[in-house]
Amino acid sequence: MAAVVYVIISLLTLVIFAVRSVIKNKTKLVNHAQFAWLMNLIITHCHKMFEQRKRQLFAPLKSLRSGSRENLRLLEIGVGTGTNLSFYPEGTELICVDLNPKFQPYFEATMKKHPHVRGKAFHVCSAEDLLLTAVWMQ
């Protein structure tokens, strides 16, 4: 119950922060270091709530391979803090895309905890600007 209350309070804080940012019209919310910090805080505490379901959703990845490659090569759009890393199979090569450059330090800290995943690149761009990443994937 305490975890649910914490999540609700965290989400309300996020909404208040978003509204305040939009009203002040400083910059887009996704470019704020505070947003990345808050998302890291929320995700860190909510991870256990969703862990079992995410394990089920990511389980089919263990049987996949990328073409003739031995390892699976994935592109994760909106990687954020890297909360999905623990669900990727051994030897996964990961290319990351996120619009918010402030997520990168949190992602790198998460990568250190998951040596079974090899981070190939972290691109700061929108999903619409993936031409560079698509070329690299070939």
Q: How far is CA 82 from CA 20, 34, 77, 99, 117, in A?
A: 27, 17, 11, 14, 11
For 117, phi and psi rounded to 5 degrees? -110, 135
Average pLDDT over residues 4-32: 57
- DSSP secondary structure letters along 36-62: HHHHHHHHHHHHHHHHHHHHHHHGGGG
The residue written with tokens 């996020």 in the block is 14
Residue 34 banded pLDDT, cuts 50, 70, 90: confident
- pLDDT score of 11 more than 90: no
Average pLDDT over residues 52-73: 82
- Domains of the chain (ranges plus CATH)? 2-137 (3.40.50)
Question: What's residue 18's pLDDT?
Answer: 59
Contact 60, 30 (CB under 8 A): no
User: pTM score, two decimals?
Assistant: 0.69
